[in-house]
Structure 1
């Protein structure tokens, strides 16, 4: 299958190498010409995983997004939600009927990007989908090296418009056989683990993050008090899903720490053991704040309010981060109000998400 991968971070490199090694034709786009040049000519990536290290060639690495998208059946976006609006603007002139755009994860970006592309004049029948996490636990080790600590074994996927879910999933499953349907785009967005796991880790580790040059929030930062808050926050997420009529499995985050039933299976110990998440984290600019809190957690809070679900932990964490950032995060760009979905009758909301606009 022809696959286009947009982005140049950890997940993009992991996906480009992994999917190319699986026999797909992979074209990779990013804006940074110098970084692309580091992949060589012809381009290749050194993939390290449990099977060792091997060099994997990819079809194309380019700054030309039109060239990268041309002919692609599947478009994988492994970029932060903060990049989605600009990326939609770049993609809009080039998307065509039948392409499947897969956000991993999305923070309801499947709906937001589809809306933006339509506003820019492209009415192509594009299928948009999102899941709850990246298909990989991965970290780049150099300009052309990426280490994969774990691969997802279960990926719940929501599709917009939901009426096209079977078609979209048939395409995505060629790349990731572990995907399964979880309903519409809102259901997919409410599977996103980032806004549940990362805001408590950032808030409750704020002092050591600012004091020490590097800190592993998934190792020494994940203590019982932090886990307790995470569990409560996740119960609020699940309550929102249930209030909106979405059924199990909800993938409770507690399973990530205690069982093999979560999206990555029994992967938390491998994540900690790798040491790849010991890093310097800027409380004001890191994606755990800019993406998972300002966008993802604000989205969760807005949906909870719309669903009539009490979510004091989500509200409190959002308020604390807003306090040290100096702004009210309840009025961000990824709330239902900002997306024009505030105040809809639940049946009308589900109809829009099923039929599209």
Structure 2
């Protein structure tokens, strides 16, 4: 459950005899719940998500994965099967929101020393316009592989994090959950150190392969790398690491469904 095409990396790592034993590798866009760890072994759960896209690699096995998870419906109450794991990866809300909002609030985040609320304090109309630009680039990547993705504003409503608004800013303002979410704790928080290399770098790599322009995504990667002092492109997930470089849109779609490259068919 990585929502960053981790299923492809896992399949590359495990031995062929393990795969031959009927192992299913699925991933979903998010955890089943909006939650934060408290002290000790306690967890604060704010919301049970209403809509969690899931797929198996290869996608022809998704119905079998979903059928197995039906046996533990209390833990996974809102799974929605989608075309393939690319649709899962491109529906991950964290890279859409976290990097841009965190970078634009970096000064406040560092000054707050752990006492900052990104959604309650950092979501201004200008910040949300940057998030919308990232969102449009994400949607364009999806369209290049035949996926019609919903906007981030609609995604927030679908999962149950907010009520509809006139625009993305108003949708964030309508949320009864997000303003109370504390974080990020600093510039080396997962909002940047995970969501850039395992989110935006992946989207950038896919975009270049598919011939999609993503100037806002590219800018956030570069600024985030400079801010954190990390080469996120070198550390991140790319089509080369996933073994899907050199595939055009149709070949990629077929590979994600069948698990076989053209030369293997």
Mapped to 2, the partners of 1:324 and 1:179 lie a distance apart of 36
Mapped to 1, the partners of 2:90 and 2:253 lie a distance apart of 14
2:232 equivalent to 1:329 = yes
How far apart are residue 279 of structure 1 and its match?
4.0
After TM superposition, list the pairs within 5 Å mapping 1:89-104 onto structure 2: 103=1
Task: State the partner residue of 1:311.
Answer: 214
1:300 to 195, 203, 215: 203
How far apart are residue 155 of structure 1 and its match?
1.2
Q: Answer 1 or 2: which has greater strand percent.
A: 1
How far apart are residue 305 of structure 1 and its match?
1.1
Mapped to 2, the partners of 1:130 and 1:291 lie a distance apart of 17
Task: State the partner residue of 1:266.
Answer: 162
How far apart are residue 288 of structure 1 and its match?
1.2
Scaled by the length of structure 2, the TM-score of the pair is: 0.84
Higher CA-based Rg = 1
Q: Answer 1 or 2: which has greater helix percent.
A: 2
After TM superposition, list the pairs within 5 Å mapping 1:201-220 onto structure 2: 201-213=101-113, 214-220=115-121
Aligned residue pairs total 245
Q: Deviations over 1:32-80 (max 9, x none)?
A: xxxxxxxxxxxxxxxxxxxxxxxxxxxxxxxxxxxxxxxxxxxxxxxxx
3-state SS in 2 of match to 1:343: coil
After TM superposition, list the pairs within 5 Å mapping 1:123-272 onto structure 2: 123=19, 124-174=21-71, 175=73, 176-213=76-113, 214-247=115-148, 250-255=149-154, 260=157, 262-266=158-162, 269-272=175-178
Mapped to 2, the partners of 1:280 and 1:303 lie a distance apart of 27
Mapped to 2, the partners of 1:142 and 1:231 lie a distance apart of 35
Mapped to 2, the partners of 1:282 and 1:265 lie a distance apart of 24
Contact 1:133 1:194 in 2 (8 A): no
2:193 to 264, 278, 290: 290
Contact 1:204 1:226 in 2 (8 A): yes
Contact 2:60 2:258 in 1 (8 A): yes
How far apart are residue 303 of structure 1 and its match?
0.7
Scaled by the length of structure 1, the TM-score of the pair is: 0.64
How far apart are residue 280 of structure 1 and its match?
5.7
Mapped to 2, the partners of 1:280 and 1:333 lie a distance apart of 20
How far apart are residue 189 of structure 1 and its match?
1.0
Task: State the partner residue of 2:247.
Answer: 344
Task: State the partner residue of 2:168.
Answer: none
3-state SS in 2 of match to 1:127: coil
Mapped to 1, the partners of 2:89 and 2:122 lie a distance apart of 26
Contact 1:149 1:270 in 2 (8 A): no
Q: Which has the higher contact order (CA 8 A, sep 6+)?
A: 2
Q: Deviations over 1:252-272 (max 9, x none)?
A: 212356xx3x22253762324
3-state SS in 2 of match to 1:150: strand
Mapped to 2, the partners of 1:221 and 1:228 lie a distance apart of 13
Structure 1 unmatched ranges of 5 or more? 1-102
How far apart are residue 242 of structure 1 and its match?
0.8
Mapped to 1, the partners of 2:243 and 2:142 lie a distance apart of 20
